[in-house]
Homo-oligomer: A and B are copies of this chain.
Amino acid sequence: MLKMGKLTDYATVIMNFLAQNPGEVHAASELANVVGISAQTALKVLKTLSKAGLLQSQRGTKGGYQLTRPAQHISMADILQAMEGPIGLTECGSSPGACVRESQCSVKTNWQRISQAVHEALAKVSLADMAAPPSQPIYFVKSAPDLTHAAVSA
């Protein structure tokens, strides 16, 4: 199913909530309530996001979490990467040496390219996009060399 973990799912909902309440500090217990999970589990997610630099934490009474940067500058790829490590569909892609016949494998390179494409797809969607209602579909173009710069920078 090519699915991401539950914790990552929680993470996106939490990040989404924080994006909709910018500048405010929210405690783990509150965020747990938003998602509908235990405080402990929320804490686990928040710690991970915090260590990845996506969240800024404040300890003590009236402490909590907030986004380190504006939602426009946080991508889905950032969140996914923070929660599940580097994006790579195959074992070979992220950990070299995993496959025995790595040298003679024609499949490997192409999978890396596909992983890269998926990564870019996720990088194009910001947290702000998520918080807003869906409008523009995400289009895919294969082999359109003269659009390269526009595509990458757009």
Contacts and interface: CB of A to CB of B under 8 A. Distances in A.
Given A2-B80, A140-B141, A142-B154, 13 more contacts: A1-B85, A2-B118, A4-B90, A9-B91, A16-B106, A110-B125, A113-B138, A121-B121, A136-B142, A139-B151, A140-B151, A141-B141, A143-B154
Interface in A65-96: 76, 80, 84-92, 94
Interface stretch (A23-31, A44-52, A55-63, A126-134): A126-134
A89 B129 CA distance: 17
Interface residues of A, number: 60
A9 B36 CA distance: 35
B85 A113 contact: no
7 contacts: A1-B85, A16-B106, A36-B100, A36-B101, A110-B129, A114-B138, A139-B142
Closest 3 CB pairs of A and B: A117-B138, A136-B143, A141-B151
A143 B134 contact: no
Contacts of A118: 2, 118, 121
